[in-house]
């Protein structure tokens, strides 16, 4: 076998895709000029473009959502750098096949051909399987480009991760998807151009939103719609039928966006988990950014629950972190769990009212002097001026409490935090009552 002979794993360039292949496969960009999105990596002067232009592409990990162009970009890298492109799926092959690829890459290297090994879903390999890549990467025998939808920090072993540069790919934006749709309808060679179809602006906008940043989903849905069309125009109704979903009244930049998020927050504040789940589902189904929803939940955990259940903030924050690791569609489960917890948790806005009252006082009274006894005294002069003098170290007293003033003199006795006694705040009320009683007892002669 000569090094340039295609093997079981080596794939032809996208331009040779059969006419019977799905539209998304046929429309794979064949050059950087045809590639949509990832301007943060491919724009003038950006990292990946510089690697290509200088012909110095290291081993890479492409981390990004489905349909953002990970496989296509690897194909283009191979073409731009005149390298052999070998596709390898973590689902279909194992260590034995990896070694076969490395042997072929070695033969190719002797003939002056570089090899780019594209490893799809690299996160599905276990530690031992990932270890098999290390020698070839270390020697520069192959340039590995791994693709993953999962956070590589958790899914790729440290030795391999340290030898690769991680590039974060972003989901395609609606305007980029709109351009992709237009190109597919116009392309007579690989696309749908021979059908002479037009598409309404409403249908384009609907598909660009419904695809949720996934170029593959957008193109394959467009192909289904083209098969359903009556006449020569793809209408909104046709596109909805192709997707088997109807448009929800929800404009992410308009009034309904604010109406629904308001209903969602008020449902959790009002301790109605069923309503909260309904409004959550409305937002998810309409394509709202789940991270926007999660950020609002974190705010609610402090503003409306606070110390009535201190775990609420932990759960909301953990939900955000977990969602970033998992993504959709499984992320809906994480959202559902967090929403039901927040909705059913005891409520108190005492912390929220407390910080706002304190801020209002600072704005009203300005920068009042710090009492001398609670100032730090790192120098001899400060000690001579009375800094820190009379300070009582709380741990030297019974119950870890020392009776002394901490507020500026003009504000002594002022209360900002008034816990309401709901949930865990009941414990805080009891603790504060004990502190007041201790203070009273110590004042008695």
Q: What is the pLDDT of residue 440?
A: 65
User: Residues with Cβ < 8 Å from 320, sequence gap 6 or more?
Assistant: 291, 294, 295, 297, 298
The chain-wide mean pLDDT, for the chain, equals 86
The dihedral over CA atoms of 269, 359, 387, 393, expressed in degrees to the nearest 10, equals -10
Out of 243, 264, 290, pick the residue that ends a domain.
Answer: 243
Number of domains the chain is built from: 4
Whether 323 and 213 map to the same domain: the answer is: no
* Percent of the residues in the chain that have a pLDDT greater than 90, as a whole number: 38
Indicate yes or no: pTM above 0.85: no
Terminal CA-to-CA distance of the chain, rounded, Å?
101
Answer whether residue 4 is part of any domain.
Answer: no
Answer whether residue 359 is part of any domain.
Answer: no
Q: Which range, 238-242, 249-253, 307-311, 430-434, is most confident?
A: 307-311
| Dist. CA 275–CA 268, nearest whole Å | 8
Residue 64's domain comprises 14-168
Q: Is the pLDDT assigned to residue 142 strictly greater than 70? A: yes
Domain CATH code at residue 122: 3.40.50.300
Per-residue pLDDT tens over the stretch 353-408:
999 999 999 999 888 888 888 888 888 888 888 889 889 888 988 888 888 888 89
| Dist. CA 256–CA 249, nearest whole Å | 7
Answer whether residue 9 is part of any domain.
Answer: no
- SS3 readout for the chain: CCCCCCCCCECCCHHHCCCCCCHHHHCCCCCHHHCCCCHHHHCCCCHHHHHHHCCCCCCEEEECCCCCCHHHHHHHHHHHCCCEEEEEECCCCCHHHHHHHHHHHHHHHHCCCCEEEEEECHHHCCHHHHHCCHHHHHHCCCEEEEEECCCHHHHCCHHHHHCCEEEECCCCCHHHHHHHHHHHHHCCCCCCHHHCCEECHHHHHHHHHHCCCCHHHHHHHHHHHHHHCCCCEECHHHHHHHHCCCCCCCCCCCHHHHHHHHHHHHHHHCCCHHHHHHHHHHHHHCCCCHHHHHHHHHHHHHHHHHHHCCHHHHHHHHHHHHHHHHCCCCHHHHHHHHHHHHHHCCCCCHHHHHHHHHHHHHHHHCCCCCCHHHCCCCCHHHHHCCCCCCCCCHHHCHHHCCCCCCCCHHHCCCCCCCCCCCCCHHHHHHHHHHHHHHHHHHHCC
Whether 68 and 54 map to the same domain: the answer is: yes
Q: Is the pLDDT assigned to residue 286 strictly greater than 90? A: no
Whether 261 and 377 map to the same domain: the answer is: no
Closest C-alpha among 364, 373, 376, 430 to residue 405:
373
Whether 182 and 260 map to the same domain: the answer is: no
Sign of CA dihedral 250, 256, 258, 262: negative
Tokens of 323: 């969602």
Q: Which range, 99-108, 180-189, 408-417, is most confident?
A: 180-189
Query: Looking up tokens 């974060």, which residue turns up?
Result: 168
| Dist. CA 95–CA 91, nearest whole Å | 12
Whether 311 and 290 map to the same domain: the answer is: yes
Closest C-alpha among 273, 332, 320 to residue 294:
320
Out of 344, 361, 394, pick the residue that ends a domain.
Answer: 344
Whether 202 and 239 map to the same domain: the answer is: yes
Out of 134, 149, 168, pick the residue that ends a domain.
Answer: 168
Answer whether residue 6 is part of any domain.
Answer: no
| Dist. CA 332–CA 347, nearest whole Å | 24
- Residue 5: pLDDT band (50, 70, 90) is very low
Considering only 135-139, 345-349, 357-361, which range has the smallest mean pLDDT? 135-139
Q: What is the pLDDT of residue 442?
A: 61
Answer whether residue 205 is part of any domain.
Answer: yes
């Amino acid at each position: 076998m000569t090094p340039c002979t295609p093997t079981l794993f080596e794939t032809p360039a996208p331009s040779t895709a059969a006419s019977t292949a799905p539209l998304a496969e046929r429309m794979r960009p064949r050059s950087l000029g045809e590639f949509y999105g990832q301007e943060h990596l491919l724009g003038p002067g950006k990292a990946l473009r510089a690697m290509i232009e200088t012909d110095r592409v290291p081993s890479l990990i492409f981390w990004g959502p489905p349909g953002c162009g990970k496989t296509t970009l690897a194909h283009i890298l191979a073409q731009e750098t005149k390298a052999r492109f070998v596709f390898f799926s973590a689902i279909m092959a194992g260590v034995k096949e990896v070694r076969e690829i490395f042997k072929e890459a070695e033969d190719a290297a002797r003939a002056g051909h570089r090899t780019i090994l594209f490893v799809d879903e690299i996160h599905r390999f276990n530690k031992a399987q990932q270890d098999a890549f290390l020698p070839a990467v270390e020697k520069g025998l192959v340039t590995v480009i791994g693709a993953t939808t999962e956070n590589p920090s958790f899914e790729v072993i440290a030795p391999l991760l340290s030898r690769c540069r991680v590039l974060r790919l972003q989901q395609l934006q609606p305007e980029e998807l709109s351009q992709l749709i237009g190109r597919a309808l116009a392309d007579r060679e690989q696309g749908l151009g021979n059908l002479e179809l037009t598409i309404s602006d409403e249908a384009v906008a609907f598909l660009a939103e419904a695809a949720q940043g996934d170029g593959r989903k957008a193109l394959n849905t467009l192909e289904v719609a083209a098969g359903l069309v009556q006449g020569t125009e793809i209408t909104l109704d046709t596109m909805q039928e192709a997707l088997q979903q109807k448009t929800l009244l929800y404009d992410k930049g308009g009034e309904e966006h604010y109406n629904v998020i308001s209903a969602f927050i008020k449902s959790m504040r009002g301790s109605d988990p069923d309503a909260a789940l309904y409004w959550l589902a409305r937002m998810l189904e309409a394509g709202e950014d789940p991270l926007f929803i999660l950020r609002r939940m974190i705010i609610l955990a402090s503003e409306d629950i606070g110390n009535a259940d201190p775990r609420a903030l932990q759960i909301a924050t953990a939900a955000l972190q977990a969602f970033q690791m998992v993504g959709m569609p499984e992320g809906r489960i994480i959202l559902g769990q967090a929403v039901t917890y927040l909705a059913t948790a005891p409520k108190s806005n005492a912390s929220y009212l407390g910080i706002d009252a304190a801020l209002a006082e600072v704005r009203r009274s300005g920068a009042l002097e710090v009492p001398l006894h609670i100032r730090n005294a790192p120098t001899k002069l400060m000690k001579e001026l009375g800094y820190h003098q009379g300070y009582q170290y709380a741990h030297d007293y019974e119950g870890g409490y020392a009776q002394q003033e901490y507020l500026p003199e003009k504000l002594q006795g002022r209360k900002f935090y008034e816990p309401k006694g709901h949930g865990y705040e009941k414990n805080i009320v009891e603790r504060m009552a004990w502190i007041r009683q201790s203070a009273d007892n110590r004042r008695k002669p």
